[in-house]
Structure 1
Amino acid sequence: MMTSSSSSNSFRLGVDGGGTHTRAALTDAAADAQGNVLAEGHAEAANLVRVGLPAAINNIQRAVNEACDKLNINAERITSACFGLAGVGNAKHHAAMLAALQNVFPHVALRLETDARIALAGATDLQPGVVIIAGTGSISCGINRAGKFARAGGWGPVMGDEGSGSYIGRRALEAVVMAFDQRGAPTSMTAEVLRQFGVTAAPELPPVIYDASPEERQLIQQKISQLSRVAVQCAQAGDWVATQILQAASLELARAACAVITQLDLNHTRFPVAYVGGVFEAGELMIAPLRAEIQRVAPQAELGAPLYSPMVGAVKLAQQTL
């Protein structure tokens, strides 16, 4: 939620940094306990695993500075902050990012969490429940009434990210070349996939993808992830191959959520399960199979949209920092 500007002397910061976008939000540190956003800033990815630490820090600074500029303040008036970032689940990456943030924001009482933790905080408003995140990457996590935290997935593009935009995009790409080989059914995704990569036939794809320079590889990975939108559009138009890809992605996300539910012993209780991320813009194509599989394992689970965004979840966690 966005409200009018504040005359506060101090501000609270929440940052949501993923594999594609970074969002920063400022709230009134003195008066606001609800996470009402006064100003937002936006930039590119802040996942240090995907873009490197210098680029991630630069994008975080850009997003924070944009939010500060909208309120005509400088960053020194930020007293507490929570940064929820993809790629910091590993202890080494967490330590490197935390040190970099402390160097950039030395005056701020800050905490560094994964993007999954802030999504959970926003989705359930700091209450027990489960969240499924599917954007560029994917992960599920949750917390029960005893305060136990559990997660499943989030292993990155090489070992995981099942059900994510990257997963769907790669399978769309695979479907196109399999159709060309006559190993798979024809698909309407072919024309748009070829157009996205600037080629006219499937045999022209390998040089574009495999001969990319180190600087170009990140762009190639982004293009592959963005093919998830092609899969969604074609599935909505009735393409059988695209529909199968989305159903498989949905079931992968359900497997992660069900693993979390079982770890937290929530199978026979009533609790919310929220879905967050661009993949769910596909609507019921993704949500219906997800709901059915989760309720098979936990019949009282209530699947729905998050109460608040991950960015607001970060703001709420920043409130606990001081």
Structure 2
Amino acid sequence: MDVFVGIDGGGTKTRAMAVTKDGRLLVDLTAEGSNVNRYGWEPTQRSLSDLFGKIRAVLKEDEAVVSVYLGLAGIDREQERQRMNEWVRSQWPDAHVRVGHDALPALVAASGESKGIVLIAGTGSIAFGVNEAGETCRVGGWGYLIGDEGSGYDIGKRALIAIMRSYDGRGPSTLLTKKILTRYGLQDVPDLIPLVYSECYSRERMAELARVVMDAALEGDLVSSLLLADATVHLCELVEVLLRRLKFESRQIPLVVTGGLFHPGSMLTERIRARLEPEVRVVTSKHPPVVGALLLAQQQSGKIAAEEFQQLIRTLEQ
């Protein structure tokens, strides 16, 4: 029985699935992130090797992995992709193997198409596009120090800056002060300093404040509304650059929005839709990106029929 492996590796976590040709889910695993720029090559490869071992452990004698697709964050340059491709092929010498950008599985999972744009906004932010000719381009995703505008981290940082400005009398009062102090169990604004500058205060914790900003905006906080307006401009700018560079032949191409900022009911989704449609068709996915990685694995193998993949999708939805 042929087995397909799809892996979605981001900066925070990696998810791997293995399914049989008839759509039977063998394993669904989660591990730490697999961005080589963040974790380094050896730790990333150790983590992936551990996932591969767990997948092999569930295979029966009559089951064999025939295709593996990995969508990995941090693999943007051809040299990096080639290096990772060669290593993964050494782990799966008898399978079709491909390593690509982690945005492509998200696009395929949401739209069922391999052309369009995917906008990822979580802790970081990046946009990736593929046009009808197969040409690709990415914009953003340069990390929290020199990029990631409009991301959860960026919004969270700006929220804390707004609180400090308000405390100093350099900026307007904001509901964010009370909400964020309450969130952290603090009494006064200066108490934020030892927390924010401590080693345990991660980028992910900073990014979580974006949800607080959205809540405050819904309650009418002007500062929060302005922060989200700025984030919308930055995120839409990523997409607009891709539209110019890739010169899509058709209108209403799918724009898949994914990541923590685009949770159900997110006001950012509606703001982006209002700004960019009808140039694009904003799509949210009910399938995680790892499903797109599975679809890409089956496509590159040429060994599974469309109806069999639909059975796979139905299995994963259960």
Q: Is the Cα–Cα contact under 8 Å of residues 111 and 283 in structure 2 kept in the other structure?
A: no
Instruction: Give the equivalent residue in structure 2 for 1:18.
Output: 10
Instruction: Give the equivalent residue in structure 2 for 1:49.
Output: 37
Q: Is the Cα–Cα contact under 8 Å of residues 10 and 34 in structure 2 kept in the other structure?
A: yes
Length-normalised TM-score, structure 1: 0.79
Instruction: Give the equivalent residue in structure 1 for 2:160.
Output: 173
Q: Describe the superposition over 1:272-320 as per-residue Cα deviations: whole angstroms up to 9, x where unpaired.
A: 222111101163520222112213xxx3422121374321111122224
Q: 1:189-200 counterparts in 2 under 5 A?
A: 189-194=176-181, 199-200=186-187
Which of 292, 296, 317 is 1:313 aligned to? 292
Distance change in 2, residues 1:77/1:177 (3 Å)? farther
Q: Is the Cα–Cα contact under 8 Å of residues 80 and 109 in structure 1 kept in the other structure?
A: yes
For 1:72 and 1:117, the matched residues in 2 are separated by 27
For 1:127 and 1:101, the matched residues in 2 are separated by 23
Distance change in 2, residues 1:92/1:266 (3 Å)? closer
1:267 CA drift (Å): 8.2
Instruction: Give the equivalent residue in structure 2 for 1:182.
Output: 169
Instruction: Give the equivalent residue in structure 2 for 1:137.
Output: 124
Distance change in 2, residues 1:196/1:20 (3 Å)? farther
Q: 1:269-308 counterparts in 2 under 5 A?
A: 269-281=251-263, 283-295=265-277, 299-306=278-285, 308=287
Instruction: Give the equivalent residue in structure 1 for 2:219.
Output: 237
Amino acid at match of 2:73: A
Q: Percent identity?
A: 32
For 2:45 and 2:170, the matched residues in 1 are separated by 44
Secondary structure at the counterpart of residue 132 of structure 1: strand
1:181 CA drift (Å): 1.6
Q: Is the Cα–Cα contact under 8 Å of residues 22 and 59 in structure 1 kept in the other structure?
A: no
For 1:228 and 1:242, the matched residues in 2 are separated by 9
Secondary structure at the counterpart of residue 15 of structure 2: strand
Which sections of structure 1, spanning at least 5 residues, go unmatched?
1-7
For 1:198 and 1:106, the matched residues in 2 are separated by 53
The answer as to 2:204 corresponding to 1:222 is yes
Instruction: Give the equivalent residue in structure 2 for 1:27.
Output: 19
1:240 CA drift (Å): 2.3
Q: Describe the superposition over 1:136-158 as per-residue Cα deviations: whole angstroms up to 9, x where unpaired.
A: 22111222222222322222222
Which of 28, 36, 42 is 1:40 aligned to? 28
Aligned residues: 300
Instruction: Give the equivalent residue in structure 1 for 2:313.
Output: none
For 2:264 and 2:286, the matched residues in 1 are separated by 19
Which of 143, 156, 159 is 2:143 aligned to? 156
For 2:262 and 2:271, the matched residues in 1 are separated by 12
1:179 CA drift (Å): 1.9
Instruction: Give the equivalent residue in structure 2 for 1:266.
Output: 248
Greater Cα offset, 192-201 or 146-155: 192-201
Amino acid at match of 2:241: A
Length-normalised TM-score, structure 2: 0.80
Secondary structure at the counterpart of residue 267 of structure 2: helix
Q: Is the Cα–Cα contact under 8 Å of residues 17 and 60 in structure 1 kept in the other structure?
A: no
For 1:226 and 1:188, the matched residues in 2 are separated by 16
Instruction: Give the equivalent residue in structure 1 for 2:316.
Output: none
1:231 CA drift (Å): 1.9
For 2:83 and 2:179, the matched residues in 1 are separated by 40
1:102 CA drift (Å): 4.4
Which sections of structure 2, spanning at least 5 residues, go unmatched?
302-318
Q: Describe the superposition over 1:107-136 as per-residue Cα deviations: whole angstroms up to 9, x where unpaired.
A: 543211111122223233234322211122
Q: Is the Cα–Cα contact under 8 Å of residues 104 and 118 in structure 2 kept in the other structure?
A: no
CA RMSD of aligned residues (A): 3.0
Amino acid at match of 1:114: H
Instruction: Give the equivalent residue in structure 1 for 2:308.
Output: none
Q: Is the Cα–Cα contact under 8 Å of residues 110 and 283 in structure 2 kept in the other structure?
A: no
Secondary structure at the counterpart of residue 203 of structure 1: helix
Secondary structure at the counterpart of residue 158 of structure 1: coil
The answer as to 2:82 corresponding to 1:90 is no
